[in-house]
Structure 1
């Protein structure tokens, strides 16, 4: 049971701005003889989506501090991000699993007040597909069926 909890926490931290290595953890668990691949996929996906929801929440609340001197994003950078986000739209969240750009995308979705249901749907699709690919690469296609 503790392995599943560890996987959830690893996936959650991987989706936030904290470092994580959920793909390595998931791959290791997937190659175990008695691994329940569907359960591993569900737990990793759920943990990663919850982590993205934390980013969304941070984005929603970050703008309360935009007038503070220590705020890490200038008004100009924020405006530029808004143009890019509007240009590519909410569909860009299908790429929330991509390293380096995925976490900021989920924060920006919160900053720009994207609809929560659409956010969860798109992020879940993207992250679920990514973890399905990780499992497939770890165990091989022939072992899935």
Structure 2
């Protein structure tokens, strides 16, 4: 079998109930800015946003029904270079009065889970930097959280 050549994530796309509210939130909280507006039949239907310091491109699509149905689901985890920058992000969220799950050790690096955007989509942030004792190769994580156990897959 030939494996296809891929080049990372082109963009993330979320259904939202209110384009301006979501664009404002992603701008204030994570530094995103609108770079493209998509107009369909004379109506604004979507936005493309970029984050100037390494965040993945983000598309917001006006689709209230899907946004409502997907509330609470974590579509993606956004990478953060390392632990100090993750704790800095957590402090920023605290300053903005936004609830989140705090910074915790995960199986391979550090995680800041449970931030929710205005539509209830859950955002999680994970460090690219790994723990020195992080597993290599395929592994299984039992009961993620404080009592987590990690073992090689058999």
Q: Do both share a fold (TM > 0.5)?
A: no
- TM-score normalised by length of structure 2: 0.26
- TM-score normalised by length of structure 1: 0.27
More strand by share: 2
Higher RCO (CA < 8 A, seq sep 6+)? 1
More helix by share: 1
When Rg is computed on C-alpha atoms for both structures, the one with the higher figure is: 2
